[in-house]
C-alpha cells in the first residue's frame, strides 16, 4: 500500500507538470513564456504606441494648406494640426515624418510610420494595400465667386464668365455639365486662372478647395465663397492592414472632433469654410 501511494503521488506530480506546460508555456526567469513574449507586453500596435509614448505620423511637406515647411523650419497646415491633435488625444508625442505622394504608402506598409495623414483620397487600388479611416479633411472641386453673386448650380453659373485651368479634372467636369453655350475662359495653369479671377477678368472660378482657400486667405476683401460642389474626393487617414485597434481609435478620434466642431474650426482656419457633408464610407 505504501508503494502504491508513493506511485500515485509521483504520477499526480508529473500530470500537474504536463498540464502546466500545456497552458501557455513554462515560465522563464525573465518573466517571458517559451514563445518569447514577455508577460504583460502590448498585444497590438495601439498598445505599443501608448507604451512607447510616441506615434510616427506621415505628413505632407509640399501641399499648400495641408502641409508645408514654414520659414522657421517647422511644418504647418491642416494635416499637421490634425496629426498633433491626434497625438495629444492619445497622450503621446507626435513624431512628424515628411513624405511625398509617391512614398507615403510604402512608408506605412514598411513600418516607418504608424499613420499617414497626408491629404490622401481613397482609391480601390490603394485599399488593396492599406486601410482607410473615415473622412477627416475636405478636398473637392467647386465653383467659387463673391458672396454677392446668386449662384447655386451650373445653369445659374452660365450667366457669368467662368475661369478654369485647361485640362484639369474640374475644368472637364464643369465643361461637360455646362455644355457648349457656357462662357468659359480656359487658362494654361492654375496661377494664371487665379490671377484672372482676382483681377476681375472672370466672375467665377472652377478650382479645388485648397487653391480657393489660398485665395480666400490672401484676398479677404473679395468675400469669396463656394457656390456649389462639382465633385468630392475627401481625405482619409491611412492605417496599416491588420492594425484594427488603431483604426477603431482613429475613427473615434475623428467622430469626437466632428461632434465638437474642432474639425470645422480647423477647416475655417485653413480653407476659409467649414467642412462639407462628406459622402458615406
> Of 2-6, 92-96, 97-101, 102-106, where does the model show the most confidence?
92-96
pLDDT digits (tens, 9 = 90+) for 9-35: 443 443 343 333 333 333 333 433 344
- Rounded Cα distance, 79 and 61, in Å: 10
pTM above 0.75, yes or no: no
Instruction: Give residue 152's pLDDT.
Output: 96
Q: Averaged over 71-92, what is the pLDDT?
A: 96
Q: Averaged over 155-168, what is the pLDDT?
A: 94
Domain-by-domain residue ranges, the chain?
45-138+234-271, 140-232
Two domains, one topology: 45-138+234-271 and 140-232: yes
Question: Domain 45-138+234-271 falls in which CATH fold?
Answer: D-Maltodextrin-Binding Protein; domain 2 (3.40.190)
Select 140-232's CATH number: 3.30.70.1450, 3.55.50.30, 3.40.190.10, 3.40.50.300. 3.40.190.10
Amino acid at each position: 500500500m505504501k508503494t502504491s501511494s508513493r506511485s500515485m503521488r509521483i504520477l499526480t506530480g508529473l500530470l500537474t507538470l504536463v498540464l502546466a506546460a500545456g497552458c501557455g508555456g513554462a515560465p522563464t526567469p525573465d518573466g517571458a513564456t517559451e514563445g518569447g513574449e514577455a508577460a504583460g507586453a502590448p498585444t497590438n500596435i495601439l498598445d505599443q504606441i501608448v507604451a512607447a509614448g510616441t506615434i510616427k505620423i506621415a505628413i505632407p511637406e509640399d501641399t499648400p494648406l495641408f502641409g508645408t515647411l514654414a520659414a522657421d523650419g517647422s511644418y504647418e497646415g491642416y494635416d499637421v494640426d490634425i496629426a498633433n491633435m491626434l497625438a495629444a488625444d492619445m497622450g503621446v508625442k507626435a513624431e512628424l515624418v515628411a513624405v511625398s505622394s509617391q512614398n507615403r504608402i510604402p512608408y506605412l506598409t514598411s513600418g516607418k510610420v504608424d499613420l499617414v495623414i497626408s491629404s490622401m483620397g481613397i482609391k480601390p487600388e490603394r485599399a488593396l494595400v492599406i486601410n482607410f479611416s473615415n473622412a477627416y479633411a475636405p478636398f473637392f472641386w467647386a465653383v467659387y465667386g463673391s458672396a454677392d453673386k446668386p449662384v447655386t448650380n451650373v445653369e445659374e453659373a452660365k450667366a457669368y464668365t467662368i475661369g478654369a485651368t485647361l485640362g484639369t479634372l474640374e475644368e472637364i467636369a464643369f465643361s461637360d455639365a455646362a455644355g457648349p453655350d457656357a462662357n468659359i475662359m480656359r487658362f494654361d495653369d492654375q496661377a494664371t486662372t487665379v490671377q484672372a479671377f482676382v483681377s476681375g477678368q472672370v466672375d467665377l472660378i472652377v478650382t479645388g478647395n485648397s487653391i480657393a482657400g489660398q485665395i480666400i486667405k490672401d484676398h479677404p476683401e473679395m468675400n469669396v465663397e463656394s457656390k456649389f460642389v462639382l465633385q468630392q474626393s475627401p481625405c482619409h487617414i491611412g492605417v496599416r492592414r491588420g492594425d484594427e485597434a488603431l483604426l477603431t481609435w482613429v475613427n473615434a478620434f475623428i467622430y469626437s472632433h466632428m461632434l465638437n466642431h474642432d474639425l470645422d474650426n480647423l477647416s475655417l482656419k485653413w480653407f476659409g469654410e467649414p467642412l462639407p457633408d462628406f459622402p458615406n464610407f
